[in-house]
A and B are shown apart, each in its own frame.
Chain A
Amino acid sequence: MIQLFNWFRRGSLERGLDRELQYHFERRVADLTAAGISEPEARRRVSGELGLTQVREEVRDVWLTRWFRDFFYDLRFSARSFLRSPGFTATTLLSLALGIGATTAIYSLVDQVILHALPVREPERLVLVDWNGDDPITYATGSFNLMPYPICRELQQQTRFLDGVLCRAEIEVNLTAGGDPRPVAAEIVSGSYFPVLGVGPALGRVIEPQDDAAPGAGPVVVLSYDFWQAQFGGAADIVGRKVLIGNHPMTVVGVAAAGFRGVDIGAVPAFWMPTSMCADANLDEDDLLNSPTRWLQILARLRSDVTLAQAQTGLQPWFKAWLQDSTLRPGFPRISADHRREYLATTLELTSAPQGHSVLRRNLAQPLWLLFAATGVLLGLACMNVAGLFLARGSARGREIGTRLALGASRGRIGRQLLADSLLLAVAGGVLGAAVALLAIRGLIAFLPHDLAANALSGALSLRLLTFAFFASVAAGLVSGLAPALHASGGSLVSSLRERAGTGFGGVRLRKCIVTLQVSFSLILLVVAALFLRTLTGLLAKGPGFDTSNLLSFAIAPTQNAYSDADASRLVRRLDEQLRTLPVASSSAAARFAFLTGGAWSNKVTIQTDRRTVSDGIINFNAVSPGFFSTLGVRVFAGRDFDKSDTLPVGEIGPRCAIVNQAFVKRYLAGRDPLGVLIARGGSSDVKPNSRIVGVVADMSYRGVRDNSEQVFFPLFAHDDTGATFYIKVRGAPEQAIPSIRRLVRQDDPRLPILWFRTLDDQVNRSLNTERLLAALSGSFGALALLLSLVGLYGVMSFVVTRRTREIGIRLALGATGASAIRLVLRDAVAMIAAGMAIALPCVAALGRLVQSQLFGVTATDPATVAAAALVLAAGALAAAFIPAWRASNVSPTDALRLE
């Protein structure tokens, strides 16, 4: 590496050498003249002795070593020749930068989500302990690897195989620390959590086994380093401070080590608290030590002398005994003999978990690998195109290279020059690609699902990532430079000098095939992108079915702050009342469940007309306060909205009523008057339809914008309503109304946090996240593939034109017109484009079925969409092919023939 250093200070090295040699020269001359030789003669002799030029060259070789020096000169030569042909340089740079950038961006996620081990002691020995099979108590399918707490405790005794066992669960709690209460994500963990992971404190202490010794034993929390920095400004006196979790006072005993963000990359906790305090986190665990509820994940550390398979086999006898034992415990449900057998046949499963446990990883692993493979293919195509462009350029430089060979340059030397070309280009492309990647990663992360518990994904370029980008660039450079380099150094010298516009068409057919495939590939992607784009615009144009302008919503969950159901209901009613009188609110209403968040309250419905029917599908329910429909601007088609008369005192149950939407009427009450019909939630035979339909409203979206399901609304204040989302139509800008609404809630209960504040415009946007992600991903992939196939087409056509210059020249000399030359070249291109489209169209039809379920308002084979995509592709492709064709038509016959 000293050579590299020398390269950068070669100026000062040269000056030093000059002075040194000058000194030698003059001393020698002085000595010789002193010995009586005339000065000119002395100078001549010394020059002969020293051989200054030769000495300088040899010393330079010492500094840089020969190949290194040559390589740098090659790079300089390459850089100059690139600057001379900016069009070529820009095209190749762009395709490499996009290819490398896309690959690096996806790799960043692959690395962070899938590959990166937890920053804990010996993460490779961590295993996830899972219960393989259904259990009859909760019928948990194990999709979240949930386990009951008692197992964790007993597993800790299995020290023959395990070096420690921890359990943890993700929770959301209301935290009050000084200012306003707010909801935060946290991790509730066993006392063994920190010791087993080997994570220490940055300040104070971590949670220790005695905090978790018995229920209620340790009212302590340990803050995460990031949360401590962000929320408490890294206050040094944080240890010993009291905070409120819900309504329960807890003491901050420490801050965990910096860089440790829990065991789930997709859910970063603000703090940790011991499982002994689960009652304080409002988890319904009356009997923590014996409860069979599966609510935690268990991670264990294997003993260093035990393999995963040994531990798994070794633990089964113990687990069998535990299962047997558990059936005898009080509270074990009565189950059939079959069920019992199934239960006893379940096993314990260990899987290696150096990256911890993450739902995000489970959901994203497969799509990420797929995306990574796709970007890899794109990068490969980009390399192939650049190789094609190089070949086209190389054949134009054939004479130059031939001349250099004739003058004595070695073939290796020429090949190396061409490799230097592509390496320089690729590394420059890599630098640009890193910038592209930076933008792309941020975009991708923004699209990932995120709720309260933010994910720990970082959009920054880490050293790992830069290393990856560098190796990707060098690989791309080698791949795209190898073909031209071999081509240049492999041809016979005589033929390359004799060959003017020769007949050597080697590899052109293969490249035409590749370009054809690229064209079809990009047409498929373009069609898919167009479909997703139309879906997104269609959904945006459709809207949620209500007027979102100036509409604001916020939610509260008072039971999380230890409200009784009746008190919670009173609070919701009170707030609803007060919000209506706020000067900034033109109207206001509340609903039990929030709209457009993906979830819904749903069940079958029993309908009593002249006969009793049960809905064949699931109906979505909500309970809303009087004035809800007018606040949202939803039309009431028949009957009436809810009013005061539907409201019952807290805790009282009386006559009920319901409002249904048009879709419900159309499907289940077609042709009859819906008003007065009795319905009820549930489809079993003991359900009594006792809610009278009093109104019919227009359809509106519930789970998401796409959703126009059958819906039934009940009056909000006829039950105990334990939580609510408020919808407020405000005067003026929604953001300006937020402080006064916040003040109103705080006046009522300063400890009650507002879960979220959102404008409905924002909510609509959020609910379209998946659609937007699909449109953006397929759009950028489509654009990338299109661009690459155009570059590929351009490259291969340029190559062909250069090769046929002489033939075209002769044709022109014999009287062919320029237009006919253009036609000659374009004919080739059109054949490739047409073939590509012919391949793509059946694929589009086949793939269409796969994406159909994701589409809205457009079929997968929509002729207009396919035609538009094909048109874009054809126009671009013809333009790309036209440039070399135009060059062909401008071949001067005399020049082309004089080359002979």
Chain B
Amino acid sequence: MPSPRFPIPQGTLDMLILQILALEPAHGYGVAQRLEQISRSVVQVNQGSLYPALHRLQQKGWLRAEWKQSETGREAKFYSLTPSGRRQLAVEKDSWARLCGAVNLIFEEGSR
């Protein structure tokens, strides 16, 4: 069965993770589930690439992590946004919007 979902564009995973964690802190599995839900199963995230991304963001100081009780009662590593992560999210949203605008402009130009 060919998947109707397309792979996530390069470089946008970080932004999506930041956006998800901006709503509330979550553990890795939670982020994966949320990603699927939010993107209504349109975007396909390779589960394996989630963890390197989380660790990269943490190392950059945009995320902080702590071990807490999860909803199942077991300890899980919860990630949350730091203030600098919040700023970074704003920057990325802004540049994403400008990129989309620019691409749309080109498309409209071509279709005219």
A positions within 8 Å CB-CB of B: 2, 16-17, 19-21, 23-24, 27-28, 49-51, 54-55, 58-59, 61-63
Contact = CB atoms under 8 A, between A and B. Distances in A.
Contact of A54 (B48, B72, B76): B48
Contacts of A51: 48
B52 interface: yes
27 contacts: A17-B51, A19-B75, A19-B77, A20-B27, A20-B28, A20-B77, A21-B51, A23-B28, A23-B29, A23-B70, A23-B74, A23-B75, A23-B77, A27-B29, A28-B29, A49-B47, A50-B47, A54-B48, A55-B51, A55-B52, A58-B49, A58-B52, A59-B55, A62-B55, A62-B56, A62-B59, A63-B59
A23 B76 contact: yes
A32 to B, nearest CB: 12
A28 B27 CA distance: 13
Nearest to A61: B52
B43 interface: no
Interface string B51-77: 110011001000000000010101111
A24 B78 CA distance: 12
B22 interface: no
Contacts of A55: 48, 51-52
B74 A20 contact: no
Nearest to B52: A58
A54 to B, nearest CB: 6
A20 B78 CA distance: 10
Size bracket, chain B contacts:
10 to 19
A814 B104 CA distance: 84
B32 interface: yes
A622 B51 CA distance: 91
A49 B59 contact: no
A720 B76 CA distance: 98
Contacts of B77: 16, 19-20, 23
Contacts of B28: 20, 23-24
Contacts of B75: 19, 23
A533 to B, nearest CB: 61
A68 to B, nearest CB: 13
Contacts of A61: 52
Contacts, number: 50
Contacts of A62: 52, 55-56, 59
B47 A27 contact: no
Q: Is the interface of B mostly helix, strand, loop or mixed?
A: helix
Given A21-B51, A59-B51, 6 more contacts: A16-B77, A23-B28, A23-B77, A24-B28, A58-B51, A62-B56
Nearest to B70: A23
A59 B52 contact: yes
A45 to B, nearest CB: 11
A534 B76 CA distance: 78
Interface centre among B27, B28, B47, B56, by most chain A C-beta atoms within 10 angstroms, is B47
Nearest to A56: B51
A54 B52 CA distance: 10
B47 to A, nearest CB: 5
A2 to B, nearest CB: 6
A70 to B, nearest CB: 17
A51 B75 CA distance: 22
Contacts of B32: 24
B85 to A, nearest CB: 16
Contacts of B76: 20, 23
A23 B49 contact: no
A805 B24 CA distance: 71
Contacts of B52: 55, 58-59, 61-62
Contacts of B48: 49-51, 54-55, 58
B81 to A, nearest CB: 18
Contacts of A50: 47-48
Q: Kindly name the residue among B28, B47, B48 whose own CB sees the greatest number of chain A CB atoms within 10 A.
A: B48
A2 B49 CA distance: 22
A216 to B, nearest CB: 68
Contacts of B74: 23
Contact of B29 (A17, A24, A63): A24
Q: Lowest 10 A-B CB distances belong to which pairs?
A: A58-B52, A51-B48, A62-B55, A24-B29, A55-B48, A27-B29, A62-B56, A20-B77, A49-B47, A59-B55
A49 B51 CA distance: 13
Contacts of A16: 77
Nearest to A26: B74
Contact of A20 (B47, B49, B51, B59): B51
A2 B59 contact: yes
Contacts of A20: 27-28, 51, 76-77
Nearest to B74: A23
A55 to B, nearest CB: 5
A66 to B, nearest CB: 12
A20 B28 CA distance: 8
B72 to A, nearest CB: 7
A63 B52 CA distance: 9
Nearest to A65: B59
Most buried by B among A23, A49, A61: A23
Interface string B24-53: 000111001000000000000001110110
Nearest to A58: B52
Interface string B2-18: 00000000000000000
Contacts of A24: 28-29, 32, 47
Given A2-B59, A59-B55, A62-B55, A27 B49 contact: no
